[in-house]
């Protein structure tokens, strides 16, 4: 069989590679006959004959049973010369049926021989069993036998090649399907070696190389050695992986690959084939595969390999595209490290296969990054992040995963010995270099040991890390915190609380209690403080000390605070209506959290509430604590000035408990000081608290502020406060905080007593 060689872009001699032709095997011919003479004459007749360049190897069987046994052991028999009548009249034809049916040998050619013309099988039989020829024994002279066998062997050879090519094509199609599912260029290239080896029937030993940066499709420098790297290698070449072709220690492999890439055509040589795969979109996408194989390839294999190469080139383009998409999805564009999605997937996988034991997950936040970004610009911020990423990647061994999990948040996953406070602090101690400028950074860190009670998903693990980070940051800058189960529980509890609070707010299960404030000089009520109350679904009261911080953290406090203000004013209007004519007007004190203060809409909402409810601003007092300082003293001072300009009062609540800086007290335009009840409770003793209470009264006086004592529970305390000259008081001694109807009753009673 000849194949027009110009169909194939194989280069042979020109490369200097010597073709080695494997010794051609002889065709196997099985002679089945019960007559010993026939065996002898046939052997004699065939001696020294050659057909299609190959010798003949005659096998002998003297019965149908023996023939069957023989063929079972040696299925590659080209021709069977078969006696029709042997043990029985049908022995020959029965054997044909079994060769085709039982043994499934469809390519083997069968030539029937019979002693007499009368024993000839019917045409139908010849057709049914695909019998090649029918001869009487007398016709089998050397000459005639040669002609018969030549035809049979040609036919056998063609059938066999057709079958091989059909199987090969099936393989190519299967391979293409598989390649579509491959996830990366490396997997893909490994698959190429395996598939080609399978196609050629050799062990998968080979090398695939491509332009240096196949994933990015960067143009390779002239397609030369330096521009190509090994992206997959199998068998004895495994060690070459990721090496540049120019640096390969196996010169033969490097030569063959380069020759193939330069000539942009497949080539072969002693013991190998080098296949060329043309890139789509220019030479930068070209790649080549070097496979150990006997050479030259039979023409049929060459054709198959060509089909395969064309197919695979298309697949490669798909794989490169998928790789790029994956890269987009998993790699942080700015820093070139894993992103949050990649880390979560990796954590998921490692939680599933149990390989996180002995590991820890750290998150690292650059402190005050937002401020730095604002002050020096985003480009500077980017440089800072890049320098930080570089420091982590270079300073940590490959066993650690470094990822970016948020704007300025990095994560490191690795062995607990490395992923802990001290080594990471040491690593980040030296200043980062940003365009020649040295810059020290402060980093907050959280650590989640991955040992016991691991959550079931990577994102939950990251959530634990976030909770821990929040805790670390609450203590200030540059701190570390290690996750504990209690911390996790605490955070879960807060989440539950917040959900409950949202529901309660939506379903009107929140209400206000009002605590009267009295003038110590005459015992008359002068105002009320509104205090928020939450009765949970089970009927129990949830103390504000628990739910207010949660509402603050979530921002819910803004709408909650606005609701308190409006409801408080409503109550004040109702109290006015219930009061006898001429009764002095009460003031309403409302607690305001720093979060509300920081909200840009604060003043507008205040004005709206006062206008809507028709209450004079002078009857309202806002209670703030010293914690408003976190919003920024300038801003608070400005805002309070606005508040005061409207005539609304400002009380400093819990005075004495914070970091009471007198200088800032001086700067805040307050109207009242509220002595915290911890000091009041110590009045009448010589404890330090009592002395502080005594100091606050003259201090307030000096600053021109009225002073109110909180938490007055006993007559002794009241008396002590009166003696000190304290203006007002509130506390259980006068009344507990009361819901509105209770307050109205209390007010009526207290007025009738006065």
Q: Can you tell me which of 737, 738, 740, 744 binds ligand C2E, judged by CB under 6 A?
A: 737
CB of 657 to ligand C2E, least distance (A): 9
Nearest Cα residue to 39 out of 54, 24, 59, 65: 59
564 touches ligand C2E (CB under 6 A): yes
Contact 80, 67 (CB under 8 A): yes
Residues 514-543 that bind Mg ion (CB under 5 A): none
Nearest Cα residue to 95 out of 68, 133, 70: 68
Give how many residues touch Mg ion by CB under 5 A: 5
Taking the C-alpha atoms of residue 19 and residue 169, their distance in angstroms, rounded to an integer, is 26
Nearer to ligand C2E, 621 or 653 (CB): 653
Q: How many CB atoms lie within 10 A of CB 683?
A: 25
Q: Choosing among Mg ion, ligand C2E, none, which partner's interface includes residue 737 (Cβ < 5 to 8 Å by kind)?
A: ligand C2E
Q: Can you tell me which of 596, 654, 727, 728 binds Mg ion, judged by CB under 5 A?
A: 654
Nearer to Mg ion, 349 or 630 (CB): 630
Residues 659-718 that bind ligand C2E (CB under 6 A): 677, 710-713
CB of 458 to Mg ion, least distance (A): 44
Give the torsion sign (CA, 184, 189, 194, 198): positive
Taking the C-alpha atoms of residue 710 and residue 44, their distance in angstroms, rounded to an integer, is 128
Residues 494-523 that bind ligand C2E (CB under 6 A): 515
Taking the C-alpha atoms of residue 653 and residue 440, their distance in angstroms, rounded to an integer, is 39
80 touches ligand C2E (CB under 6 A): no
593 touches ligand C2E (CB under 6 A): yes
Helix (H, G, I), strand (E, B) or coil at 581: coil
CB of 574 to Mg ion, least distance (A): 21
Angle, nearest 10°, between helix axes 185-200 and 142-181?
170
Here the contacts of 472-480 (C-beta below 8 Å, separation 24 or greater) are: 472/444, 472/445, 472/446, 473/365, 473/444, 477/367, 477/368, 477/442, 477/444, 478/367, 478/442, 478/443, 478/444, 479/444, 479/445, 480/421, 480/425, 480/444, 480/445, 480/446, 480/447
Task: Please choose, out of 10-18, 51-59, 127-135, 724-732, the segment that lies near ligand C2E by the rule CB under 6 A.
Answer: 724-732
Residues 460-479 that bind ligand C2E (CB under 6 A): none
CB of 655 to Mg ion, least distance (A): 8
728 touches Mg ion (CB under 5 A): no
CB of 548 to ligand C2E, least distance (A): 5
Q: Can you tell me which of 133, 157, 621, 654 binds ligand C2E, judged by CB under 6 A?
A: 654
Taking the C-alpha atoms of residue 39 and residue 82, their distance in angstroms, rounded to an integer, is 11
Give how many residues touch ligand C2E by CB under 6 A: 24
Fill in the DSSP letter of residue 405: -
Q: Can you tell me which of 83, 653, 727, 728 binds Mg ion, judged by CB under 5 A?
A: 653
Nearer to Mg ion, 92 or 594 (CB): 594
Residues 315-374 that bind ligand C2E (CB under 6 A): none
Alpha helix positions (H), 366-484? 369-376, 378-395, 421-429, 458-474
CB of 367 to Mg ion, least distance (A): 32
Angle, nearest 10°, between helix axes 378-395 and 369-376?
130
Q: How many CB atoms lie within 10 A of CB 550?
A: 20
Residues 662-721 that bind Mg ion (CB under 5 A): 710
CB of 545 to ligand C2E, least distance (A): 5
Q: Choosing among ligand C2E, Mg ion, none, which partner's interface includes residue 422 (Cβ < 5 to 8 Å by kind)?
A: none
Q: Can you tell me which of 124, 506, 545, 686 binds ligand C2E, judged by CB under 6 A?
A: 545
Pairing of strands 109-114, 133-136: parallel
Nearer to ligand C2E, 330 or 563 (CB): 563
CB of 480 to ligand C2E, least distance (A): 31
CB of 615 to Mg ion, least distance (A): 19
CB of 749 to ligand C2E, least distance (A): 19
CA 741 vs CA 183, 499, 525: distances in Å = 71, 29, 16
Nearest Cα residue to 529 out of 751, 752, 671, 735: 735
Residue 448 β-bridge partners: 361
Find the radius of gyration of the CA atoms of the chain: 47
Q: Choosing among ligand C2E, Mg ion, none, which partner's interface includes residue 187 (Cβ < 5 to 8 Å by kind)?
A: none
422 touches ligand C2E (CB under 6 A): no
Taking the C-alpha atoms of residue 591 and residue 535, their distance in angstroms, rounded to an integer, is 19
192 touches ligand C2E (CB under 6 A): no
Nearer to ligand C2E, 92 or 711 (CB): 711
Task: Please choose, out of 210-218, 229-237, 599-607, 727-735, the segment that lies near ligand C2E by the rule CB under 6 A.
Answer: 727-735
Angle (nearest 5°) at CA 426 between 424 and 428: 70
Q: Choosing among ligand C2E, Mg ion, none, which partner's interface includes residue 532 (Cβ < 5 to 8 Å by kind)?
A: ligand C2E
626 touches Mg ion (CB under 5 A): no
Nearest Cα residue to 587 out of 624, 610, 616, 619: 619
544 touches ligand C2E (CB under 6 A): yes
Q: Can you tell me which of 107, 108, 323, 591 binds Mg ion, judged by CB under 5 A?
A: 591
Q: How many CB atoms lie within 10 A of CB 594?
A: 19
623 touches Mg ion (CB under 5 A): yes
Pairing of strands 510-519, 728-729: antiparallel
Residues that bind ligand C2E (CB under 6 A): 515, 531-532, 543-545, 548, 561, 564, 591-593, 623, 653-654, 677, 710-713, 730-732, 737
Residues that bind Mg ion (CB under 5 A): 591, 623, 653-654, 710
């Amino acid at each position: 069989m000849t194949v027009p060689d110009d169909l194939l872009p194989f280069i042979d001699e020109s490369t200097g590679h010597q073709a080695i032709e494997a010794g051609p095997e002889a065709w196997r011919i099985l002679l089945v006959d019960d007559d010993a003479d026939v065996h002898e004459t046939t052997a004699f007749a065939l001696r020294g004959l050659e057909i299609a360049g190959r010798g003949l190897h005659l096998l002998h069987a003297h019965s149908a049973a023996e023939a069957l046994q023989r063929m079972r052991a040696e299925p590659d028999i080209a021709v069977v010369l078969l006696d029709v009548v042997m043990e029985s009249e049908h022995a020959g034809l029965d054997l044909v049926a079994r060769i085709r049916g039982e043994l499934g040998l469809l390519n083997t050619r069968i030539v029937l021989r019979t002693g007499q013309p009368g024993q000839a099988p019917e045409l139908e039989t010849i057709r049914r069993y695909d019998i090649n020829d029918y001869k009487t024994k007398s016709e089998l002279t050397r000459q005639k036998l040669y002609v018969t066998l030549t035809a049979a062997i040609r036919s056998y050879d063609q059938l066999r090649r057709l079958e091989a090519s059909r199987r090969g094509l099936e393989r190519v199609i299967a391979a293409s399907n598989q390649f579509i599912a491959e996830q990366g260029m490396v997997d893909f290239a490994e698959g190429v070696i395996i598939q080609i080896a399978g196609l050629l029937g050799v062990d998968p030993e080979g090398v695939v190389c491509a332009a240096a940066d196949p994933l990015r499709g960067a143009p390779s420098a002239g397609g030369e050695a330096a521009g190509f790297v090994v992206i997959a290698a199998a068998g004895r070449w495994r060690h070459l992986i990721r090496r540049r072709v120019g640096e390969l220690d196996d010169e033969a492999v490097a030569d063959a690959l380069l020759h193939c890439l330069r000539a942009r055509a497949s080539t072969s040589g002693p013991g190998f084939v080098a296949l060329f795969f043309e890139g789509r979109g220019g030479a930068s996408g070209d790649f080549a595969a070097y496979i150990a194989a006997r050479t030259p390839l039979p023409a049929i294999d060459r054709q198959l390999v060509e089909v395969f190469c064309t197919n695979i080139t298309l697949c490669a383009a798909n794989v490169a595209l998928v790789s790029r998409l994956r890269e987009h999805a998993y790699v942080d564009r700015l820093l070139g490290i894993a992103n949050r999605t990649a880390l979560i997937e990796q954590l998921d996988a490692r939680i599933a296969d149990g390989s996180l034991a002995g590991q820890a997950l750290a998150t690292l936040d650059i402190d005050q990054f937002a401020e730095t970004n604002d002050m020096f610009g985003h480009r500077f911020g980017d440089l800072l992040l890049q320098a930080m990423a570089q420091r982590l990647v270079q300073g940590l061994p490959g066993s650690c995963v470094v990822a970016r999990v948020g704007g300025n948040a990095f994560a490191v996953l690795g062995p607990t010995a490395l992923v802990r406070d001290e080594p990471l602090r040491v690593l980040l101690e030296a200043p980062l270099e940003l365009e020649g400028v040295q810059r020290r950074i402060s980093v907050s860190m959280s650590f989640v040991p991955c040992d016991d009670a691991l959550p079931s998903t990577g994102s939950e693990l990251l959530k634990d890390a976030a909770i821990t980070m929040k805790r670390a940051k609450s203590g200030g800058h540059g701190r570390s915190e290690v996750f504990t189960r209690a911390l996790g529980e605490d955070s879960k509890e807060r989440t539950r609380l917040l959900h409950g609070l949202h529901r309660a707010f939506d379903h009107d299960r929140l209400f206000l209690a009002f605590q009267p404030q009295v003038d110590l000089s005459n015992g008359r009520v002068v105002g009320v403080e509104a205090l928020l109350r939450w009765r949970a679904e089970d009927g129990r009261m949830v103390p504000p000390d628990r739910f207010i911080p949660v509402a603050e953290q979530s921002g819910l406090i803004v709408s909650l605070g606005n609701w308190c203000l409006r409801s408080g004013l409503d109550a004040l209007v109702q109290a006015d209506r219930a009061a006898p004519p001429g009764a002095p007007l009460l003031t309403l004190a409302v607690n305001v959290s720093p979060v509300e203060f920081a909200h840009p809409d604060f003043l507008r909402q205040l004005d709206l509430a006062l206008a809507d409810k028709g209450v004079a601003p002078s009857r309202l007092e806002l209670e703030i604590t010293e914690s408003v300082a976190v919003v920024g003293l300038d801003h608070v001072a400005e805002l309070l000035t606005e508040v005061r300009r409207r005539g609304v009062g400002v009380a400093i609540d819990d005075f004495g408990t914070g970091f009471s800086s007198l200088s800032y007290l001086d700067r805040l335009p307050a109207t009242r000081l509220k002595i915290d009840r911890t000091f009041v409770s110590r009045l009448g003793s010589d404890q330090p608290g009592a002395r502080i209470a005594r100091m606050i009264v003259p201090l307030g006086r000096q600053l021109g502020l009225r002073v109110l004592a909180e938490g007055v529970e006993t007559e002794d305390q009241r008396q002590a406060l009166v003696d000190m000259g304290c203006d007002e008081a509130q506390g259980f001694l006068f009344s507990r905080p009361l819901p509105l109807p209770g307050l109205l009753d209390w007010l009526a009673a207290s007025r009738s007593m006065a």
